[in-house]
Structure 1
Amino acid sequence: MAKKVTIKDIADMAGVSIATVSHVINRTRYVSPDLVEKIENIIIETGYHKKIEEKERRLKVGRQSEIVAVIPNVESTIYRDMVGYLKKYVSIQGYQFYIAITDNDIKEEAQVLEGLIQNKKTAGIIHVPVSDVAADYKKLIESGIPFVCMERNILGDGIDSVEFRDREAIFKGTDYLLECGHKNILFLRESLKSTTRDERTRGFLLALEEHGINTNDANISDINIESGADNCILEIQKAMRRYMPTAIMAGGNRITLYLMKTMRDRGIECPEEISVVGFGDEGWSELTYPPLTILKRDVEGLSRRAVNMLFEKINTGHVIEQDYYADVELIIRKSTRMLDNGPFGEEAATPESIVITKEEKSRLRAGNFRVAISFHYTGTSWAELHEKGIRDELEQYGIDIISVTDAHFDASLQNAQLEGIRLQKPDAVIAIPADDKETKEQFRELAKVSKLVFLSNVPENMEKNSYVCCVSVNEIENGVNVGRMMGEYCKGKHVEAGFIIHGAVFYGTRARDEAAEKIISEQYKNIDIKAIRGFGEIENAYQVCKDMITENPQIKVLYVSWDRPALLAIKALKEMHREDIAIFTTDLDYKIAQYMESGIVKGLSTQRPYEQGRTAAHVVAKSLLSNDVPKYVGVQPYVVDAKQLGRAWKDIFHEGMPEEIK
C-alpha cells in the first residue's frame, strides 16, 4: 500500500517550511508567484490536492455554517497573524471562515454586525470590538449568536473574552526600564479608548508606583495611529521634545515602528541616548540595529483559545464566565541600556553627550597639546585596542602622545613611571591604576601639573576635584548581562552554580560581580548559588576553581569575573574532565572566542575597548579647553553568544574574525 503523502512531504520536496506550504494552500500570507507555482505543481503531481478537496467538501455549508472574525484591519501584523491562526482552528471544526473589517470605526462596525446578525449562515463571531461599552452591542448581545471578544473586551456581564495580559506586559517592560535606572520614562499609547489601552496604562502606572515614583508625574502621550505615519511621527517628536525621556515604553506594534523611524530621522542613538522597549509581533524587530527589546505576544495561543471558547458556546450553549489571558513575554535584546553611576554616585553621561565644536577643533589643532598614557598592563589585545582608540581620536585634533608606559600590574613600577610622566609635564594623562591604594599619592601629585582622565577605575579615596573624569564600561550592566545569560541558559531546570569573583577591592569588578549575583538571586529562583569564591591575584583563579568544584561537584554553571581568570578556570576544569560545566564571563579575546566556538563558554558580555579609548581621548580633548566635562562617562557593554560571534568580533576588534577561530 502506497505511503500517504503529507504536508511535510510536500514541504521537503519544495525545499520550504511546512508553514509556507500551508500559506499557499490556505492563501493566508503572501508567497512569491514562482514558489506558489512550484508548490502547487508538487501538490498535483503527488495527488495531495485530492486530500485538500476532500477536506473542503467536509466543510459545513448552508445554515449556520460560517464563523466570522470581525477585526479592525489586516495591515497590523497581529491581526494578519490572528486571521491565519483562526482560519486554521476554525477549519479543523469543519466550518467556513471569513473576516470582516471595521477600520476601527463604530458606525462601520455596526453595519458589519447588522449584516452578520441578519445572515442565517452565521454560526458564531470572533470579535475585536471598537468600543468597550455594552450598549453599543445591544443587538449583537440580544441576537443569541454565540460570540467571543478577542484582544479587546466589552465591559458587561456574560460577555466572554480572550485577551493578552496587557497590564502585566507593560508592567514588565516598564519595571525592566526602572530596574535599569531610568526614571524619566515616556509611555506612548494609542489614542483610541479601549480596555486594552486602559490595562496597559494601569500596568505602566503600577510599575512607577512600585518604584516610588509619583504617578502624577507620569509621562504619557497619546498617538493617533489611524491618522497616518507622518502625523504619528510628528506626535512622537513633540512628545520626545516635551518630556526629554531617557527611555520609552512603546504601547503597540505600529507605535514601535513609528518611534524607531522618528529616532532614525532625528539621528537619536538607541540605546546610547534613549532606551526603547517596544512590541515585537513584527518580524523586523529582531533585524533592526540595534535588535529591539520587545514584548512578544502569544498570538497563536490567544487565537486557539478564542476558537475553543466559541465552539464550546456553540456546542453546549453554556456561557463561560472566566476570562482567558494569553501570555506576553519580555525578550531583552540591545535597544536598552542600564544607567550607571560613578565612584561618587554621579550619574553616567553618554559619550555622545560630549560635543566638540568646529571652533574648539581649530583651537585644539593650534594648541600643541601633549598627552601621556599610563597602563597597568599592555600585554593584551584589550590594552592594544584602548591605545588604538586613544591615538585615532587624538590624531584628528593634532594632539601628540609623548609616552605610553606599562606597569606590568606592579604598583611600585607604575609610581616610578608616573613620576617620570610628571616631570614631562604633559597637558593631560590617561591612566589605568595598577593598584587602587598604592598609586593614590602619586596620582595626586600628577594631578597638580596635568589633567587626569582615568579608565575603568579611580584610586581609592581620590578626591573628586583632583581628576577630570573616569571613563568606564557600564560594569553594572556588564554583570546583569552575564547573569541574565546564565539565567536564560538554565531556564526550566534546577541548576547549581558557582561564582568566581575578583577578591581585590576594585570598583569596576566589584560592581560587575555584585550585579551578576543579584540578578540571579532575584530573578532566577531555579538557580542555586552553591559557592562564591574570590581570587586576589589572577593566577589564583586556577586553584580557586579546582577547590570549588572538588567541594561542590554538582555545580553545572560557573560565573567568572573576566576573561583571564576564566581561561585559568577552564584549564582547571579540563584537567578535572569537567567540560560539562558551562562558563559565563566578561570580555572577548582570542582564546575565549575559541572556547565559545567549542561550546565551553556559553555567553559573555564584553567591554568595547576601542570605543572606551576613543571616549577617554575625546574627554581629554574637551577638558583641555573647557571645564564642562562630566565626571563619569559610561560606555555600553556588548552581549556575545556563539550564534553571532563573528559579528561581535568585527564590532569589538574592528576586523574580521581569524579563520582559525571559525
Structure 2
Amino acid sequence: MSDDAAGRRPSIRDVARLAEVSHQTVSRVLNDHPSIRPETRDRVLAAMRDLSYSPNRAARALVTSRSRTIGVLAASATQYGPAASIAAIEAAAQARGYWVSTANIDPGDPQSIPDGISHLMAQSVEGLVVIAPQVRVIRAIAAHAVDVPFVTLQSTDPDAGHSVAVDQVAGARLATRHLIELGHRSIYHLAGPQDWMEAEARMTGFLEEISAWDIATTAPILGDWTADFGYYAGRELLRYRDFTAIFSSNDQMALGLLHAVRDEGLDCPRDISIVGFDDIPEAGHFWPPLTTVRQDFAELGRRCVEILLDEAGSAALPMLTPELVVRSSTAAVARL
C-alpha cells in the first residue's frame, strides 16, 4: 500500500489494486453478483482480509437500496421489558446478518414520535419494530404513514399480522391462580401505570381470575413500576394488613414490597406472599427469591425479525405463553 494510504481506512480501490481487478469487480463481489467467477471472488475476499477492509454500509445502501438495518422505535427503553426486547431483537437480527438502529422517543412529547420515525427512515431501514407500551404512542404511530414493513410489541392490536406479544392476561391469571391455590383469599394487586398496555392486561388477568373463583377483591393500586413505589405502597397497605398476598405487576415493585414487609418486622412468605412479573435476572436473588412470571424475550425478538424479513411475516403469529416460576416468596396461607 502507498504511503498516502497508510493513515486512512482501506477503500474499495485499494482492494481492487491488491486483487488486480477493477473496482467494479470488487463491488460485484460485495453484492454477490452471479457473474463473478469463483477464483476471482476468492482473490477479492483474500485482499479484503489482508487489508482488514470492511464496506461502508451507508454507501452500500445508496448503491444497492439495501441497508441491512432494522429500525427500533422505543419508548421507555430504560424499563426492563423494553430493554430486554431490544437486546433480543439485536441478537436475532445479527443472526440474520442485519444490524439494529434504535431511536428512543419521549412518550410525553407527541413530536418525538414522527421525529423518531423520520430519523430511522433517513437511515434507509428495511423494517421497523415499535416498542411503545403506552396507548397514546401506538395511536400516534398508527396515524403516521410508515412505508416499510413494521411490527409492534404490545399486548393487544387489532392488526394481528403486525403484532408480536406475550399473553399478559394469561400470565396474570397464572400468578393469581397460584396464590388462590395456596389458600389466599385476601389478595391485592399492585398494578402498573394506567396508560401502559401490559399493566392494563395484567390487571385484567388478575380480575378475571379472581372473578372465576368468586373471590371478593378491592380495586387494584396503580403504581409506576419502581421499587420505591412498591415500598411506599407496601408500608401503606401494612398499616391495615387486611390481606395475605400481593400480585405485583412487575418485579421491581415486588422488590419494594419485600423491603416494606421486612421493615414492618414481618416475614415473606410466612406472613405475606408476593408474586412478581417479568423474571428479571435478579429475581432469583431477591430475599426471599421471588416467585414471578417469566416472558420469553429471546423468542419475542426472533419473531419480530421473522415477521420483518420472511415472506410468511404477514401471517398472524399466536401470542407467546408465559411461564410461572415458583420460588420462595409464596407459601400456603397461614391458618389461625
TM-score normalised according to structure 2 size: 0.73
The answer for the alignment partner of 1:87 in structure 2 is 90
CA–CA distance in structure 2, aligned partners of residues 229 and 179 of structure 1 = 27
Q: C-alpha distance in 1, partners of 2:66/2:132?
A: 22
- Secondary structure at the aligned position of 1:248 is classed as strand
Larger Rg: 1 or 2?
1
The answer to which of 156-165 and 130-139 deviates more is 130-139
Following superposition, the deviation at residue 278 of structure 1 comes to: 1.0
CA–CA separation in structure 1 for the residues paired with 2:127 and 2:106: 21
CA shift at 1:127, angstroms?
0.9
The equivalent residue for 1:640 is none
State the partner residue of 1:334: 328
The CA deviation at 1:57 is 4.7
Match of 1:634 in 2: none
Are 2:141 and 1:137 equivalent residues in the alignment? yes
Per the alignment, in what secondary structure is the counterpart of residue 122 of structure 1?
coil
CA drift of 1:171 comes to 0.3
For the Cα contact (< 8 Å) 1:151–1:162, is it kept in 2? yes
Of the structure 1 ranges 76-85 and 120-129, higher mean CA displacement relative to structure 2 is found in: 76-85
Q: Structure 2: any 5+ residue segments left out of the alignment?
A: 1-48
Q: Offset of 1:164 from its aligned partner?
A: 0.8
**Partner Cα distance (2:224, 2:81) in 1:** 18
Tell me the CA shift for residue 319 of structure 1: 3.2
CA deviation vs aligned residue, 1:496-535 (integer Å, no higher than 9, x gap): xxxxxxxxxxxxxxxxxxxxxxxxxxxxxxxxxxxxxxxx
What pairs up with 1:244-263 in 2 under 5 angstroms?
244-263=242-261
Cα distance in 2 for residues equivalent to 1:158 and 1:174: 27
- Seen in structure 2, the aligned counterparts of structure 1 residues 234 and 108 have a Cα distance that, compared at 3 Å, is farther
2:165 is equivalent to residue 163 of structure 1: yes
CA distance in 1, matches of 2:330, 2:119: 46
CA distance in 1, matches of 2:322, 2:94: 26
User: 5 Å matches for 1:105-144?
Assistant: 105-107=108-110, 109-116=112-119, 118-119=121-122, 121-132=124-135, 135-140=139-144, 142-144=145-147
Equivalent position SS for 1:324: coil
Q: Distance in 2 between matches of 1:219 and 1:299?
A: 30
Match of 2:22 in 1: none
- Relative to structure 1, the CA distance from residue 151 to residue 236 in structure 2 (aligned partners, 3 Å threshold; closer, same or farther) is farther
Task: Give per-residue Cα distances to partners, 1:2-32, cap 9 Å, x unaligned.
Answer: xxxxxxxxxxxxxxxxxxxxxxxxxxxxxxx
Q: Is the Cα contact below 8 Å between 2:173 and 2:206 reproduced in 1?
A: yes
Which amino acid in structure 2 is aligned with residue 94 of structure 1?
G
Amino acid paired to 2:188: L
Matches within 5 A, 1:405-554: none
Conserved 8 A contact 2:235-2:260: yes
Distance change >3 Å, CA 276–CA 112, structure 1 → 2: farther
Residue 218 of structure 1: aligned partner? 218
Q: 1:146 maps to which residue?
A: 149
Q: Tell me, which stretches of 5 or more residues in structure 1 are unaligned? A: 1-49, 341-347, 350-662
- Report what 1:78 is aligned to: 81
**2 CA distance for matches of 1:165 and 1:265?**
34
Alpha-carbon distance between aligned partners in 1 of 2:260 and 2:252, rounded to the nearest angstrom: 12
Whether contact under 8 Å (1:293, 1:330) holds in the other structure is yes
Between the aligned partners of 1:275 and 1:268, the Cα distance in structure 2 is 11
Provide the C-alpha distance between the structure 2 equivalents of 1:240 and 1:71, rounded to a whole number of angstroms: 37
Aligned pair in 2 of structure 1 residues 330, 58: CA closer, same or farther (>3 Å)? farther
1:319 aligns with 2:323: no
Distance change (3 Å), C-alpha of 1:109 and 1:242? farther
Aligned residues: 281
Match for residue 268 of structure 1 among 260, 266, 269 = 266
Q: Root-mean-square deviation (CA), in Å?
A: 3.0
Percent identity of paired positions between Structure 1 and Structure 2: 21
Contact 1:78–1:281 (CA under 8 A) maintained in structure 2: no
**Counterpart Cα distance in 1 of 2:133 and 2:112:** 7
| Partner residue in 2 for 1:234 | 232
Contact kept, 8 Å, 2:290 with 2:329, in 1: the verdict is yes
**Is the CA contact (8 Å cut-off) linking 2:192 and 2:200 kept in structure 1?**
no
Deviation at 1:144, TM superposition (A): 2.1
